[in-house]
Amino acid sequence: MRVLIACEFSGRVRDAFLARGHDALSCDMLSTEAPGPHHQGNVLSILEDGWDLMIAHPPCTYLASSGLHWNKRDDTREYKTLGALEFVKTLLNAPIEKIALENPIGRISTAIRKPDQIIQPWQFGHEETKSTCLWLKNLPKLVPTKIMDRRAANLTPSGQNKLGPSKDRWKLRSLTYLGIAEAMADQWG
């Protein structure tokens, strides 16, 4: 299959699909952190390039519930949230047969529609708890692959949920867990 991984700089999901023999390309405004097929630029410019599957990870800065309280404190944020929602709508309506869009719990659920599934890293071999919503088009729900006995209550060994303010905090928190990337490639590829 031709697989587009939208808004991914890490290459984790792309590499999982490549390892299974698919023609996969990551796309982000940032350069990739892992060598491999990557389009640096706006994903909207390549949405109509004949993809069979797109997995999209739109930036959650203005969409996640954890940051929406700032919209009442900063007049510019609500405008940015509305722009982020338009981007999500464009991705969900892309001319691609199979689409998965992931994002934390937040504004997409109330402004567009509720997610088809909410997954946790502990369902895919990681001990972390981090609710991740999936909006699906022509794809089955992900089936857990390795449920962990110990489920940390929003505490991660990497400290991902306890990171202090920094210029790279968003980047570290946005990485897809490898177990989830593997499940996507196995079950949707």
CB 136 within 8 A of CB 99: yes
**Helix (H, G, I), strand (E, B), or coil: what is residue 179?**
helix
**Bridge-partner residues for 4, per DSSP?**
25, 54
pLDDT band at 168 (very low <50, low <70, confident <90, very high): low
Compute the distance between CA of residue 188 and CA of residue 182 in angstroms, rounded to an integer.
Answer: 10
Can you give the residue ranges of every domain in the chain? 2-188
The per-residue pLDDT for 76 is 77
pLDDT tens for 61-92 read 657 767 655 556 767 776 677 788 999 999 99
Q: Is pLDDT at 38 greater than 90 in this prediction?
A: yes
**Bridge-partner residues for 25, per DSSP?**
4
pLDDT tens for 3-17 read 999 999 999 999 999
Closest Cα to residue 174, out of 37, 4, 11?
11
pLDDT tens for 113-163 read 999 999 999 999 988 888 899 999 999 999 999 998 765 554 544 444 555
**Helix (H, G, I), strand (E, B), or coil: what is residue 188?**
helix
- Cα angle for residues 53, 65, 104 (degrees, 5° grid): 25
**Helix (H, G, I), strand (E, B), or coil: what is residue 180?**
helix
The per-residue pLDDT for 159 is 47
Q: Which CATH class is domain 2-188?
A: alpha beta
